[in-house]
Amino acid sequence: MKRAMTVSIGTLLGLTLTSVGAAAADKAKGPTFNTDVAPILFRSCVGCHRPNQIAPMSLLSYQDVRPWAKAIKTKVHAREMPPWFADPRFGKFANDKSLTQADIDTIVAWVDAGAPQGTGSAPPLPRFSEAGWSHPSGREPDLIIELPVEWKVAAEGEMPNFNLYSPLPFTEAKLVEAVQVRPGNVAATHHITLAAQNLPKGMALGTGPAWPGGPITTNVQVAAEKGAAVDNSGDATEEDAADEEEGAGSSIGAYIPGASARVASLGVAKWIRGDRFKYVRWNLHYQATGRPETARPSIGLWWQTTAVSNVERGSRFENQISEGQPLVAPAGTKGLRLNQLLSPIPPNDGSWTVTGIAAIQDDVTVLGFGVHMHLRGREMTYVATYPDGRQEVLLRVPKYSFEWQLPYEFAQPVKLPAGSTVKAIAVYDNSVNNRMNPAPNKEVYWSEQSWDDMFLPSIRYTLDKLETKPQTSTQGQP
Ligand code: HEC
């Protein structure tokens, strides 16, 4: 049926438009780069496939694309590119760049026909920032904060997570409409999370070469060597900090593999509390690439320029259940982490589940979800239960990939009334069938290291009642 249609339209074009020109002739012969393929690549690929972005090659012109034609066919046919992991049956997401079957057929037919350029010219490129920032409007950031030192990453060995501090360059509460964290070195960066924070107890101001008058840590040796403020307490993360009012901070953003600028939805902004916090805490995790590397990450901030009615919030899933058992945090700790579970992930268990529950106490609008686990993470599903008992799957990531921790931003934000709950159900595969699994015979505990694991679902939402003042909560999720 489909074939007959195509033939008759083709014939029709051939009959009626023979004299009209080369473009029509191209059309009758099959897809060309200029007419058919470039629009697909410009829409779904060049956000990553252009200079200074995370992908290995640029796909901006016919000359760039032609040598990759066969590889492109393979990757799009297998639906491995563009990377996208949400089950298409649930939810529509604004940052879903997946190709339609028609797009895939066009690319395959084009490659099979020898990847012709066609006549005329390709459509204009989307607008991009010159410096490689990824705001969808192409605007450069209003403020860029660079790590004040060029960090040296050794060629070999395990590298723990650590924190550096640099002064936050403003003293008011600022509303931002977008935040982007650029790693400076993609290959050597495992992840970066950033928070606005005050210095933890025990850190004193010093005079390192990186920022004269800036802070220096108790870890004098590393600090002296790097000329920077370093906190080598390893696992010390937001949760620890939040336990101690002094050090409590609020999230600015994160770099995780595959991420670009996170843009708040129209009319929604996010506070960065320069009025409360004096420093940026750079939580940095590097990985060896086999040769010595340097990395200098930076943060781009775009101020909110239009009036907003709502401010973004984030929260975690505190109440956890595993295999039907509620998990209770040991006395004296706030919040649960996977190292505090009643039992860690058992060895050789192919489907170990943890469910986290977030109780919704006000009418809210959910903007999106994040999904973070490590190498044993296999699946995560978010299920809303409405006050009337109705359940709805909001997002399902059936084949989680540690290499691609994409945010999931709803095309139409989801309204949840007070009294709803959201469950995040994670499944871990600690068996030999998981080819990413570094040690199936081990019990797995929480840590930031990828050979340990994490349970970190996150939800971004706004309160439906009007908020005009900065939030006082220190909760926040990149
Ligand atoms: C979110 C960022 C992103 C998007 C969007 C994206 N890619 Fe990629 N692509 C990457 C990265 C990073 C790699 C290298 C790592 C890998 O292969 O997984 C890659 C690898 C590839 C490769 C393999 C290159 C090789 O060395 O063999 C091809 C081919 C490719 N992409 C084509 C595409 C096409 C075509 C699209 C659009 C339909 C696309 N990509 C969209 C980030 C992206």
pLDDT of residue 47: 84
CA distances from 253 to 192, 257, 280, 314, 376 (A): 9, 13, 11, 12, 24
- In residues, how long is the chain? 478
Which atom of ligand 1 sits closest to the CA of residue 260?
Answer: 1
Name the residue with higher pLDDT: 342 or 76.
76
Q: Is the pLDDT of residue 30 over 60?
A: yes
State the residue for tokens 């409590």. 248
Q: Among 29-33, 288-292, 302-306, where is mean pLDDT lowest?
A: 302-306
Alpha-carbon distance of 3 to 286, in angstroms, equals: 52
Terminal Cα distance for the chain, rounded: 49
List phi, psi (to 5°) of 145: -110, 120
Alpha-carbon distance of 286 to 383, in angstroms, equals: 34
Alpha-carbon distance of 344 to 444, in angstroms, equals: 6
What's CA 61's distance to the chain center, in Å? 27
Phi-psi bin for 469: left (phi > 0), alpha (psi -120 to 50), beta? beta
Whether the CA torsion 57, 61, 63, 67 is positive or negative: it is positive
Q: Which positions ≥6 away from 183 have C-beta within 8 Å?
A: 189, 192, 255, 295, 297
How large is the average pLDDT for residues 110-126? 95
Atom 15 (ligand 1): residue with closest C-alpha? 55
Contact 263, 410 (CB under 8 A): no
Contact residues of ligand 1, CB 6 A cut-off: 41, 44-45, 47-49, 54-56, 68, 71-72, 75-76, 81-83, 97, 99, 258
pLDDT of residue 17: 36
* Nearest residue to 419 via CA among 389, 462, 457, 458: 389
* Nearest residue to 301 via CA among 72, 85, 478, 143: 143
What's CA 38's distance to the chain center, in Å? 26
pLDDT of residue 69: 98
CA 71 / ligand 1 centre spacing (Å): 9
CA distances from 36 to 58, 125, 312, 378 (A): 18, 14, 39, 36
HSE toward the beta carbon, residue 188, CA cutoff 13 A:
23
Question: Tokens for 254?
Answer: 């994160």
Atom 14 (ligand 1): residue with closest C-alpha? 55
Atom 20 (ligand 1): residue with closest C-alpha? 55
pLDDT tens-digit readout, 302-329: 998 887 778 887 766 666 666 666 655 5
* Nearest residue to 141 via CA among 305, 9, 287, 359: 305
CA 120 / ligand 1 centre spacing (Å): 27
Contact 340, 408 (CB under 8 A): no
pLDDT of residue 437: 94
* Nearest residue to 382 via CA among 360, 349, 363: 360
Atom 31 (ligand 1): residue with closest C-alpha? 81
List phi, psi (to 5°) of 338: -65, -15
Which atom of ligand 1 sits closest to the CA of residue 99?
Answer: 38
CA 387 / ligand 1 centre spacing (Å): 42
Q: What b-and-e string marks burial along 256-275, b requiring 16 or more CB atoms within 10 Å of the CB?
A: bbbbbbbbbbeebbbbbbee
Atom 43 (ligand 1): residue with closest C-alpha? 48
State the residue for tokens 């297998």. 78
Ligand 1 pocket mutation, candidates 81, 104, 107, criterion most atoms within 8 A of CB: 81
CA distances from 169 to 145, 149, 154, 252, 280 (A): 8, 16, 30, 13, 9
Alpha-carbon distance of 118 to 194, in angstroms, equals: 47
Question: Tokens for 178?
Answer: 């977008």
pLDDT of residue 265: 65
Ligand 1 pocket mutation, candidates 45, 53, 108, 186, criterion most atoms within 8 A of CB: 45
CA 183 / ligand 1 centre spacing (Å): 18
CA 107 / ligand 1 centre spacing (Å): 15
Q: Is the pLDDT of residue 161 over 70?
A: yes
Give the type of residue at 404.
W
* Nearest residue to 148 via CA among 54, 223, 220: 223
State the residue for tokens 């007419």. 35
pLDDT of residue 111: 98
Contact 424, 318 (CB under 8 A): no
CA 82 / ligand 1 centre spacing (Å): 6
Name the residue with higher pLDDT: 243 or 93.
93
Which atom of ligand 1 sits closest to the CA of residue 44?
Answer: 37
Name the residue with higher pLDDT: 166 or 216.
166
pLDDT of residue 313: 78
Highest mean pLDDT among 65-69, 162-166, 343-347, 416-420: 65-69
Alpha-carbon distance of 320 to 476, in angstroms, equals: 19
